[in-house]
Amino acid sequence: MWHRLLAVVLLLPLFTGVGCQRETTGKHPTGGKPIVVSRTYQGSRPIKVTCTIGMVADIVRNIGDDLVKIEQMLGEGSDPHTHIVTNADLIMLDNADIIFYSGLHLEGKMTDTLERLASKKPTFAVTEYLDAKQLLRDEHDHPDPHVWFDVELWSDVARITGEVLALYDPTNADTYKKNTAAYRAELSKLHEETKTQIATIPPDQRVLITSHDAFRYFGRAYKIEVKGVQGISTVTEASLREVNQLVDYIVARKVKAIFAESSVNQQNMESLRQGCKSRGRDVALGGELFSDAMGKTGEPEGTYVGMIRHNVDTIVKALR
């Protein structure tokens, strides 16, 4: 009972705040919706920023540098699709000057809280400023939120984030713009590197089987066929029929390896392997990929660039 009361108390200042001070707008160059910043920053620095997932936090860290202090709600091994807002999360949100989250319903059960916050505190779902034409959708017309697996598209998200920070903190706009350009140059190199690496896999072996359908942007950008046991969200469980269909596909295509994900239970992948084995096809577990969460803080995989490189190296080693 007491923890529910604490949650209500913590939410009150967030959802009953006063109106916005000043509104500034920037039109995004790729045709996405205009960026509206409800107020400019008036306090001391570093600016207190709360981010939901590591990939978003990594963008803000690279662009904001020592002008920002970041708190990250979800760390290594976390699944944003199923995460329920905790009291610790509410404290982070309450303490923040500005909030960044990925959006497109990636944060699942957190989305309602984050959307309510947007009317009271600068709160931005960064992927939702992309041109809708760039987004992939599932069979129910829901947008696929896993945009970061197309490095070029994620670079556009970095540009959006940089513009938000420049509008929010105009005193340091030139610094944010400079840092954005430098980070995007690094991502451009990563994008070309990834294309080159994936192209070394023979075309008939260029098939990526993962725990859930998080890699479709990766498949589109780098010309590799992608299939997941679960859909774009881990909330929905795969049916036995869907698992058997994927087993049929793996056997027919003579797929060499399948890949677990660090933030998703591996039970489905073991079911796939056993199903293939019963059909006379031994399929290797090619390794663990990072999908909805990055690796440990302080290690290469704990950065966006390091996470992508780890995934690409793991995929190429297993399939080439």
Tokens standing for 21?
Answer: 């001070």
Read off the pLDDT of residues 108-159 as tens digits, 9 standing for 90 and up.
Answer: 989 999 999 998 899 999 999 999 999 999 888 999 999 999 999 999 999 9
pLDDT for the residue numbered 233: 56
Q: What is the DSSP string of 124-179?
A: EEGGGGS-GGG--B-TT-PBP--GGGSHHHHHHHHHHHHHHHHHHSGGGHHHHHHH
Burial readout 162-187 (b: 16 or more C-beta within 10 A, e: otherwise): bbbbbbbbeebeebbbebbeebbeeb
Alpha-carbon separation of residue 36 from 39, 155, 197 (angstroms) = 9, 20, 39
Contact 275, 247 (CB under 8 A): yes
The CATH class of 196-319 is alpha beta
pLDDT for the residue numbered 152: 98
Whether pTM exceeds 0.85: yes
DSSP alpha helix (H) spans, the chain = 2-15, 54-64, 87-95, 111-117, 151-168, 173-198, 216-222, 240-253, 267-278, 304-319
First to last CA, the chain: 55
Tokens standing for 204?
Answer: 């008939």
Residue 67 pLDDT greater than 80, yes or no: yes
Q: Which residues make Cβ contacts (< 8 Å) with residue 211, sequence separation at least 6?
A: 228, 229, 230, 234, 259, 260, 261, 264, 265, 266, 268, 269, 291
Average pLDDT on 68-89 reads: 93
Tokens standing for 48?
Answer: 């207190």
CA distance 91 to 168: 22
Residue 7 pLDDT greater than 50, yes or no: no
Label residue 179 by pLDDT band (50, 70, 90): very high
Q: Which residues make Cβ contacts (< 8 Å) with residue 145, sequence separation at least 6?
A: 102, 103, 104, 105, 106, 127, 232
CA distance 268 to 212: 10
CATH superfamily of 2-194: Nitrogenase molybdenum iron protein domain (3.40.50.1980)
Alpha-carbon separation of residue 218 from 97, 153, 173, 199, 244 (angstroms) = 33, 10, 32, 13, 24
Average pLDDT score over the chain: 88
Where in the sequence of the chain do the CATH 3.40.50.1980 domains occur?
2-194, 196-319
Average pLDDT on 168-173 reads: 98
Contact 198, 69 (CB under 8 A): no
CA distance 220 to 200: 16
Contact 93, 136 (CB under 8 A): no
Locus of tokens 């299939």:
227
